[in-house]
Amino acid sequence: MIGLSPPDVAIIQAPGTNRGRDLGAAFEAVGARVTAHLLDALAVDASPLRAARVIALPGGFSFGDALGAGRLWSIALDTRLGDVLREHIARGRLVIGICNGFQALLRSGILTDDGDLPPRVALVPNAAGAFVCGWTTLVPSASSVAPCVAALAQGQGTIDCPVAHGEGRFFAPDPRTVAALEAAGQIAFRYAARPLGPSAWLGNPNGSASDIAGITNRAGTALGLMPHPENHIRGRQHPGGQGASRASSGLPFFRAMLAQVA
């Protein structure tokens, strides 16, 4: 019996991103075939993106976060790879951005094309005015239009993982905007308002509106989130040890992403 080929995941590396290996390790751990590609190389030959089932943008400090977190990366994405990424999304495949990758996707408009999000939704500096770094608990939305998120909500239910950012506060201009996102199934993840882990863990670490930690486009084919589930794929990474890790690992989320694009 001939086995099926593993799904291809392409990771886009920009100058200053530093979580690409972590992200690749998470996808490889659930059976994906992962390749990493420099942004400049893809601008010349984007064929690796066209062959991929998932395109992933990792965290870090792209271009030194000059002019704002993810801003220069977002311009480069839109002007050099925007058509390729939009075609990928339109084909029902998946684009995911984590932390700096989320900032770049949102700023570029790739996540918000065709009125997918209300105006003035943004990621802005943390409410405390400082960089936050620690562990938090993510709660996936059972009503998410992204099958990978809905499956996680019906299965494991939560993910414990680190956060590390200075501009990760999800801003919405008014409660109606949040209600519209909720009604459309575009809220993917929320921070646990009361952390489920140790008391030192962060609840809503940045003051995000309605505890929002991640959102999708209306089709559930473009996804962005601030925390780092790729940094909790092994038991030794969890502060609570192996037992806590088995109940809250990020691996089911990565497995669900591959199932979504199978």
- The domain locations on the chain are 8-260
- Name the active-site residue from 88, 165, 228, 232: 228
- Name the active-site residue from 37, 148, 230, 232: 230
pLDDT digits (tens, 9 = 90+) for 20-73: 999 999 999 999 999 999 999 999 999 999 999 999 999 999 999 988 999 999
Among 128-142, 161-175, 189-203, the minimum mean pLDDT is found in 189-203
**Mean pLDDT, rounded, of the chain:** 93
pLDDT digits (tens, 9 = 90+) for 212-223: 999 999 999 999
The CATH code that applies to domain 8-260 is 3.40.50.880
- Name the active-site residue from 88, 99, 165, 167: 99
The yes-or-no verdict on residue 119 having pLDDT over 70 is no
pLDDT digits (tens, 9 = 90+) for 83-101: 999 999 999 999 999 999 9
102 burial via Cβ count (<10 Å: 0-12, 13-18, 19+): buried
> Which pTM value belongs to this model?
0.94
Tokens encoding 12: 């886009």
**Residue 230 known to be catalytic:** yes
Tokens encoding 220: 């559930």
pLDDT digits (tens, 9 = 90+) for 162-183: 999 999 999 999 999 999 999 9
pLDDT digits (tens, 9 = 90+) for 237-252: 999 888 888 889 999 9
